[in-house]
């Protein structure tokens, strides 16, 4: 049997005295799409950066395609060519055209001929719907288009694994959908992906599994629909509530002692920041009160 694409065991990472990853175990099989959610500062980016060897783990092991990449003997640059990474900021070279951005690493790292690199680049530009923008410069493109170019650039290295770190967080809201659609297509084409995202509808609908991180640990992991729809841990419930209802005001901030129920006329929040009562129940999307199945209203783009 083929080894998993990613196998993380007992991963720890400290910056000085501060331990930001405190023992992470994660396995990602071929074709899996794993979405990572969790509050800011919980270690999501550090986890991705360790998998991509941009950070050196303090302890534990990371295997990529069966190779222990924490072994000092391993050729890190070679391993890294198998991993595509897309960041919140697009990191395109501003003085190069789209085509120039897509062919550069293919030529220098994979030693492809100019013609071969251009063929691969065009193929991937087509995938992200930008084959007609090959000669444009990044500044002539919208943020969403630039991010799609960044995805095409990563794909042009024929990665075995794609890592996304909040790829839509820097985009204007109306540009998010096109980028998510490209990522959805990629997932459906069988790409192995780890996606850090706050787009809960994407995580629910495209993710096979969701991992909820908090304070350097995986607090909960499960099938995407189950974890997003009815998280098992209180921390995941509170986090999801905050993300899905960002304008809610915590009852404690309103000076209320009794939480209101979703059916109440003045219901504003159940389980916002500072929630101290019983676990929040999700309001139904149709506003008809509690739903034992934990139906979460989500904006689907």
Ligand X SMILES: Nc1ncnc2c1ncn2[C@@H]1O[C@H](COP(=O)(O)OP(=O)(O)O)[C@@H](O)[C@H]1O
Task: Establish if 106 lies at the interface with Mg ion (CB under 5 A).
Answer: no
Minimum distance, C-beta of residue 45 to ligand X, in the bound complex (Å): 3
Judged by CB under 5 A, the stretch of 45-53, 55-63, 174-182, 268-276 that binds Mg ion is 45-53
When CB distances are held under 5 to 8 angstroms depending on the partner's kind, the choice from Mg ion, ligand X, none that residue 46 binds is ligand X
Q: Which residues bind ligand X (CB under 6 A)?
A: 15, 20, 38, 40-46
Minimum distance, C-beta of residue 258 to Mg ion, in the bound complex (Å): 37
When CB distances are held under 5 to 8 angstroms depending on the partner's kind, the choice from ligand X, Mg ion, none that residue 20 binds is ligand X
Minimum distance, C-beta of residue 164 to ligand X, in the bound complex (Å): 12
Minimum distance, C-beta of residue 293 to Mg ion, in the bound complex (Å): 31
When CB distances are held under 5 to 8 angstroms depending on the partner's kind, the choice from Mg ion, ligand X, none that residue 147 binds is none
Is the CB of 40 or the CB of 257 nearer to ligand X? 40
Task: Establish if 103 lies at the interface with Mg ion (CB under 5 A).
Answer: no
Minimum distance, C-beta of residue 131 to ligand X, in the bound complex (Å): 33
Minimum distance, C-beta of residue 86 to ligand X, in the bound complex (Å): 14
The dihedral through the CA atoms of 159, 162, 165, 171 has a sign that is: positive
Is the CB of 90 or the CB of 282 nearer to ligand X? 90
Is the CB of 65 or the CB of 180 nearer to Mg ion? 180
Task: Establish if 45 lies at the interface with Mg ion (CB under 5 A).
Answer: yes
Q: Which residue is nearest to Mg ion (CB)?
A: 45
Site for Mg ion, rule CB under 5 A:
44-45
């Amino acid at each position: 049997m083929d080894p998993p694409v990613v196998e993380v065991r007992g991963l720890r990472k400290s910056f000085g005295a501060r331990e930001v990853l405190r023992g992470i175990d994660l396995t990602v099989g071929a074709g899996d799409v794993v979405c990572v959610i969790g509050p800011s500062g919980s270690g999501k980016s550090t986890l991705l950066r360790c998998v991509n060897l941009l950070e050196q783990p303090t302890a534990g092991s990371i295997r990529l395609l069966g190779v222990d990449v924490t072994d000092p003997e391993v050729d890190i640059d070679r391993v890294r060519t198998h991993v595509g990474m897309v960041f919140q900021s697009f990191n395109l070279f501003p003085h190069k055209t789209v085509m120039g951005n897509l062919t550069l690493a293919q030529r220098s790292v994979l030693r492809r001929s100019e013609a071969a690199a251009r063929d691969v680049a065009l193929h991937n530009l087509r995938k992200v719907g930008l084959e007609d923008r090959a000669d444009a410069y990044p500044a002539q493109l919208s943020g969403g288009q630039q991010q799609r170019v960044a995805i095409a650039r990563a794909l042009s290295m024929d990665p075995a694994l794609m890592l996304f770190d909040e790829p839509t967080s820097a985009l204007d809201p109306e540009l998010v959908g096109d980028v998510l659609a490209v990522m959805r297509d990629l997932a459906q084409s069988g790409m192995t992906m780890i996606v850090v995202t706050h787009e809960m509808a994407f995580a629910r609908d495209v993710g096979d599994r969701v991992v909820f991180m908090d304070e350097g640990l995986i607090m909960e992991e499960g099938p995407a629909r189950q974890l997003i729809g009815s998280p098992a841990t209180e921390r995941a419930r509170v986090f999801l509530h905050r993300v899905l209802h960002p304008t809610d005001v915590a009852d404690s901030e309103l000076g209320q002692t009794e939480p209101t129920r979703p059916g109440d006329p003045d219901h504003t929040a159940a389980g916002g920041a500072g929630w101290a009562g019983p676990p929040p129940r999700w309001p139904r999307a149709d506003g008809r009160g509690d739903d034992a199945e934990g139906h979460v209203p989500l904006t689907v783009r």
